[in-house]
């Protein structure tokens, strides 16, 4: 009799233990997501907030903001967390989620980001940089949460390219500013499909002062989201009052993610000879000559 009672007790104990390990759909389990930068293919853009492989250990601290967004298995938006660089444990997100499948989206920038997700589904969620110098990073990952919780590490990648304009000679004293515009930038990036939104095309411009310090080695650049269309670029020299001295455009500029193109030109005389266009791919430069077209 004692053996039967002991056996019965053991069976009940094992059943109870097994039942306690079954995923319970209404209980929140701990989820921790840590992000890092996939810096190995990144190149030094020579611009503010640049990310380089030589600074891999501190690369995350060069970011200004991180957004951690969670969507359920159907794509419904659940919640979002913003982290500024000064936040404790920057780059580590602690959450609580029920058992199930989710999609995690992390966006980051050295500048600022505008995220649009109305009406709150992954399929319509997109973001753009709202700072002219903002380098952008992104990752989308599907996760599965069980009763054991989840610890996940994600590596952010750069979905943008960089376009730089360099002067081939000292700029004349009559030029006070250089205006550098991308006429057909597509600034929004779809999170679900990881491509730019070609339904919204904008002219994106950066203007930089020409000073005594940079007149002989002037350069200006901007991060580009649109890698799906050939771009048209407008370059203008401006006087002290902001008036246009000369202006030209160049078309058929192909951009590629995580790569840099350099445009070299005589910024004093934009009507001079053509320009040099370099594609920086693993630091192997392929130079082709593209003539200016009068704007």
The ranges assigned to domains in the chain are 29-156, 161-294
User: Mean pLDDT throughout 109-116?
Assistant: 80
Q: How confident is the model at residue 115 (pLDDT cuts 50, 70, 90)?
A: confident
Question: Is-contact 209 242, C-beta < 8 A?
Answer: no
Which of 39-43, 122-126, 148-152, 210-214 is the least confident region?
Answer: 39-43
User: Which helix H or strand E contains 18, and what residues bound it?
Assistant: helix 2-20
Q: How far apart are CA 280 and CA 20, in angstroms?
A: 57
Query: CA dist 33 to 55, 98, 151, 160, 184, Å?
Result: 22, 15, 6, 23, 36
Query: CA dist 122 to 39, 74, 100, 193, 228, Å?
Result: 27, 9, 17, 10, 21
pLDDT of residue 265: 79
Which of 95-99, 226-230, 261-265 is the least confident region?
Answer: 261-265
Question: Is-contact 136 129, C-beta < 8 A?
Answer: yes
pLDDT of residue 34: 86
Pairing assessment for the beta strands 150-156 and 29-37 based on DSSP bridges? parallel
Reported as half-sphere exposure (CB side, CA atoms, 13 A), residue 217 has a value of 1
Q: How confident is the model at residue 58 (pLDDT cuts 50, 70, 90)?
A: low
Q: How far apart are CA 73 and CA 25, in angstroms?
A: 14
User: Mean pLDDT throughout 128-139?
Assistant: 75
Q: How far apart are CA 199 and CA 186, in angstroms?
A: 8
Is the pLDDT at 57 greater than 60, yes or no?
A: no
Q: How far apart are CA 100 and CA 153, in angstroms?
A: 18
Q: Is 260 exposed, middle or buried (0-12, 13-18, 19+ CB in 10 A)?
A: buried
Question: Is-contact 220 180, C-beta < 8 A?
Answer: yes
Q: How confident is the model at residue 280 (pLDDT cuts 50, 70, 90)?
A: very low
Do 29-156 and 161-294 have matching folds?
A: yes
User: Mean pLDDT throughout 91-108?
Assistant: 92
Read off the pTM. Answer: 0.76
- pLDDT, tens only, 163-197: 888 888 899 999 999 999 999 999 999 999 999 99
pLDDT of residue 271: 52
Q: How far apart are CA 104 and CA 145, in angstroms?
A: 12
Question: Is-contact 161 280, C-beta < 8 A?
Answer: no
Percent of the chain with pLDDT over 70: 73
Complete DSSP assignment for 58-107: GGGGG-SEEEEEEEETT-BEEEEEEEETTSTTTTEEEEEE-SEEEEEEEE
Query: CA dist 124 to 68, 77, 131, 193, Å?
Result: 16, 10, 22, 10
Is the pLDDT at 44 greater than 80, yes or no?
A: no
Q: How far apart are CA 233 and CA 253, in angstroms?
A: 8
Percent of the chain with pLDDT over 90: 34
Is the pLDDT at 217 greater than 80, yes or no?
A: yes
CB atoms within 10 A of CB 99: 18
Query: CA dist 268 to 19, 215, 278, Å?
Result: 78, 10, 20
What does CATH list as the number for 29-156?
A: 2.60.40.2100
Mean pLDDT computed over every residue of the chain:
77
Q: How confident is the model at residue 90 (pLDDT cuts 50, 70, 90)?
A: confident
Which of 41-45, 135-139, 230-234, 267-271 is the least confident region?
Answer: 41-45
The answer to whether the bond into 183 is cis (omega within 30° of 0) is no
| CATH among 1.20.120, 2.40.50, 3.30.70, 2.60.40 for 161-294 | 2.60.40
More confident residue, 278 or 184: 184
């Amino acid at each position: 009799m004692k053996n039967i009672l002991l056996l019965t007790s053991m069976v009940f104990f094992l059943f109870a233990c097994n039942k306690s390990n079954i995923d319970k759909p209404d209980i929140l389990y701990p989820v921790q997501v840590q992000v890092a930068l996939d810096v190995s293919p990144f190149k030094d853009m020579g611009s503010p907030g640049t990310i380089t492989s030589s600074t891999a250990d501190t690369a995350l601290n060069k970011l200004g903001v991180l957004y951690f967004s969670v969507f359920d298995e159907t794509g419904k938006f659940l919640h979002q967390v913003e982290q500024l660089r000064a936040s404790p444990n920057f780059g580590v997100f602690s959450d609580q989620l029920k058992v199930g499948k989710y999609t995690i989206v992390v966006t980051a920038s050295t500048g600022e980001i505008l995220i649009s997700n109305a009406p709150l589904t992954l399929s319509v969620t997109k973001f753009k940089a709202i700072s002219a110098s903002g380098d952008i990073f992104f990752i989308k990952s599907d996760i599965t949460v069980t009763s054991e919780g989840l610890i996940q590490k994600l590596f952010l990648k750069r979905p943008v390219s960089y376009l730089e304009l360099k002067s081939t000679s000292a700029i004349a004293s009559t030029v006070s500013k250089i205006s550098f515009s991308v006429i057909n930038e597509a600034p929004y990036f779809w999170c679900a499909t990881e491509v730019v939104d070609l339904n919204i095309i904008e002219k994106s411009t950066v203007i930089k002062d020409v000073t005594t310090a940079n007149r002989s080695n002037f350069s200006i650049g901007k991060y580009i989201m649109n890698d799906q269309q050939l771009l048209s670029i407008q370059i203008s020299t401006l006087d002290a009052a902001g008036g246009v001295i000369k202006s030209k455009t160049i078309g058929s500029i192909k951009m590629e993610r995580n790569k840099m193109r350099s445009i070299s030109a005589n910024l004093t005389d934009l009507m001079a000879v053509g320009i040099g266009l370099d594609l920086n791919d693993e630091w192997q430069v392929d130079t082709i000559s593209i003539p200016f077209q009068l704007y």
